[in-house]
Amino acid sequence: MRFRQVHLDFHTSEAIEGIGSRFSKQQFQEMLQLGHVDSITVFAKCHHGWAYHPSTANEMHPHLSFDLLGAQIEAAHEISVKTPVYLSAGLDEKLARRHPEWLIRDPQEKLNWAPDFMTPGYHQFCMNTPYLDILANQVREVVSNYDVDGIFLDIVGVRECYCQSCVAEIRRRGEDPRNLDAMKLLWEETFLRYAQTMDEAVHRIKPGLPVFHNSGHVKRGRRDFAKLNTHLELESLPTGGWGYDHFPLSARYAQGLGMEFLGMTGKFHTSWGEFGGYKHPNALKYETALSLANGARISIGDQLHPTGWMDPATYALIGEAYREVEAKEEWCRDVNSVADVALLSAEAAGEPGNTAQHADAGAVRILLEGHYLFDVVDTENDLSSYSVVILPDVITVDEALKTKLTAFIVNGGKILATGRSGLSPDGSHFELDFGAKPLGDAAFKPSYFRPDFELPSLRHASFVMYTDGQDIELEPHGTKLGSRENSYFNRDLFTFCSHQHTPSNLQDAGPGMVEGPAGIYAAWNLFEDYALKGSLPVKEILHYALDRLLKRKTVQTNLPAQGVTTLQAQPSENRWVHHLLYASPVRRGLNVEVIEDLPVLSDIEATISVPAPVREVYLAPQGLKLPFRQANGRVHYTLPPWSCHQMVVLQFEHATNAQKP
């Protein structure tokens, strides 16, 4: 995979004439060079359903007079730029109007995406229909006729569908379409059959050609779905609704799968489908650096004008970021993360619903803002390299997970659990020994936590916990780290106080956080709390618990809270690369996070626990050597002033395979 990719959309209505009329090989090449682009995903078929090449498996756009796909591939290859090829798989508006019976339906026969055919928009196809064979022929045609460097298939995944093809199939099996479990099995089988059909369509002609099926989200815990791809492309446009916390959550999971992957952002001010929108060059610099810091290559989304003219402003913008990426690639190839903490994803553990999503998101924010080195893991990961495993909010422990976590604890690891995590599936007891006994769901919401320790930013107080909690009692061998306090009463018709919630009654109602042989347990959904409310006490409570369990962090730094730090091992070069990033997104409009300013940071220090003596420390790509102190297995250095992204290289004296000190 190349580092500097562009994903070029071209969803172009049949109502527009002059398609490709201004395409120029020279101008196309000049824009790729201006943008420092080394791979560009070009298009064979768009959401409207049209082909952009001569076709017998499809129909060429009625206002295109030449082979645009072939011309783009030829132009790109001439300057050594790769060309994966895009086909819209789940959407084909031309065909949707001809075969509406092949479209996804809900139980009430309503359509997917656009609600009807009187509303502008696309309609999604069910792959359990004859459409699958039509799509396979379109893919075969492209792979057979063109020198493609990969296939990108869009808008696919496990889809809920009650079209008559799915209903007929489930009844043929002797099942009832009202049986949700039976339908879920059918939907997964439909997606797997689709993926296998596409794989055969591609690899029978060109074995080993990269193929990616884009569903907009790589589901944590479904490695079988991830492995249907040859690589992963993590769609995460911060300004398009994903936000700046989303990519680290996806990337810290993807890197552990052992697959090549890239982070996909966009040049747009908002999201896909936008013409004339541009983000600040500093935003792209930060977003591309964030990919590098997480072991990923990069793809930036663009959309070609119907005339085929490549927009100079866009490629100047992309070039601002990719010029820097090009200089950094040497230190970003073939890397593995170094991490102290494993976050067991609530999604990966099979927990459904928004609470699980909030638990994962809040945990990642807590870890990023505390500058912890972490990976996001599923139940298949080997945990032996980590010091702490986090079970966020909703992860109950079955026998298989208990066996895995018990082995981790026996080998010296510690658990941080919150809310219902650590409980048996029926909630009757803790499966891990936190020195406490569960008493059931807390009767009061909210309730309050009074820590037995002082928070760094606040004095002793009773802090409100906004989310659901558990009542617990201390076992003789447990250590209480703070007390729960209940409110006078829950807010109700005749019992309410003030504008939001009732104050604490200031009475000790039992422990709220405890420590036992297995680790630390906090009795509220603290990670969900932080995702939804961003409470300072919650963050500092969780940082206290993590620091108490970790004892010795591999990386310590005085970066501001919005700073991001990662550590990537590059075994082939016998070095570690310490990434530091800083930007402060601001909210513009209604819900758009924007990065414009990249302030210069000074006097940023770092201390790294290392597995072997370090020969030299230097800045990359500048090559500037840094003075450093090395003692007791730690290396300390201070960075000169920097902005946005700085890599610090720790070059070991001798070859070492160690991933941790």
End-to-end CA distance of the chain: 31
Decide if pLDDT at 500 tops 90.
no
CA 469 to the chain's CA centroid: 28
What's the token pair of residue 498? 């003030």
Q: Which of 304, 245, 310 is nearest to 273 (CA)?
A: 304
As a whole number, mean pLDDT of residues 349-368 equals 91
As a whole number, mean pLDDT of residues 10-27 equals 97
* Spatial CB neighbours of 159, under 8 Å, sequence gap ≥ 6: 90, 104, 112, 124, 126, 127, 187, 190, 191
Beta bridge partners of 85: 42, 151
SS3 458: coil
Beta bridge partners of 234: 263
Decide if pLDDT at 660 tops 60.
no
Contact 610, 617 (CB under 8 A): no
**Model pLDDT, residue 657:** 54
Distance CA 137, CA 620 (A): 47
SS3 298: strand
* Helix %, strand %, coil % of the chain (to 5): 30, 25, 45
Distance CA 170, CA 162 (A): 10
Distance CA 363, CA 123 (A): 36
CA 82 to the chain's CA centroid: 25
What DSSP assignment string belongs to 238-285? GGGTT-TTHHHHHHHHHGGGT--EEEEEESSSS-TT-SS----HHHHH
Q: 51: burial class by Cβ within 10 Å (0-12, 13-18, 19+)?
A: buried
As a whole number, mean pLDDT of residues 297-312 equals 97
How many Cβ atoms sit within 10 Å of the Cβ of residue 119? 10
Of the two residues 506 and 541, the one the predictor is more confident about is: 541
Distance CA 436, CA 459 (A): 27
**Model pLDDT, residue 36:** 98
What's the token pair of residue 191? 């997606």
Model confidence pLDDT, tens digit, residues 74-116? 999 999 999 999 999 999 999 999 999 999 999 999 998 999 9
**Model pLDDT, residue 428:** 94
Angle between helices 246-254 and 281-293 (to 10 degrees): 30
* Spatial CB neighbours of 21, under 8 Å, sequence gap ≥ 6: 307, 308
**Model pLDDT, residue 344:** 97
**Model pLDDT, residue 656:** 66
Residue 659 banded pLDDT, cuts 50, 70, 90: low
Amino acid at residue number 269: H
Q: Which of 469, 568, 564, 570 is nearest to 521 (CA)?
A: 469
Decide if pLDDT at 504 tops 90.
no
Residue 134 banded pLDDT, cuts 50, 70, 90: very high
Where do we find the tokens 């998101």? 361
Q: How large a percentage of the chain has pLDDT more than 70?
A: 99
Beta bridge partners of 299: 5, 264
What's the token pair of residue 509? 């109602």
Angle between helices 312-328 and 25-34 (to 10 degrees): 50
Decide if pLDDT at 497 tops 90.
no
SS3 555: strand
**Model pLDDT, residue 642:** 97
Decide if pLDDT at 658 tops 70.
no
**Model pLDDT, residue 520:** 98
Distance CA 404, CA 202 (A): 39
As a whole number, mean pLDDT of residues 318-340 equals 97
**Model pLDDT, residue 592:** 83
Model confidence pLDDT, tens digit, residues 402-450? 999 999 999 999 999 999 999 999 999 999 999 999 999 998 889 999 9
As a whole number, mean pLDDT of residues 362-368 equals 97
Q: How large a percentage of the chain has pLDDT more than 90?
A: 89
**Model pLDDT, residue 461:** 92
Contact 584, 562 (CB under 8 A): yes
pTM of this prediction exceeds 0.85: yes
Q: Which of 297, 283, 346, 272 is nearest to 526 (CA)?
A: 346
As a whole number, mean pLDDT of residues 275-285 equals 95
How many Cβ atoms sit within 10 Å of the Cβ of residue 224? 10
Contact 318, 267 (CB under 8 A): yes
The H helix count followed by the E strand count for the chain is 14, 30
Length of the chain: 661
Average pLDDT over the chain, rounded to an integer: 95
Contact 626, 573 (CB under 8 A): no
- CA-CA distances (angstroms) from residue 604 to 56, 553, 620? 61, 17, 16
Decide if pLDDT at 655 tops 90.
no
Residue 493 banded pLDDT, cuts 50, 70, 90: confident
Tally of CA atoms within 13 A in the half-sphere of 132 that contains its CB? 18
Contact 604, 371 (CB under 8 A): no
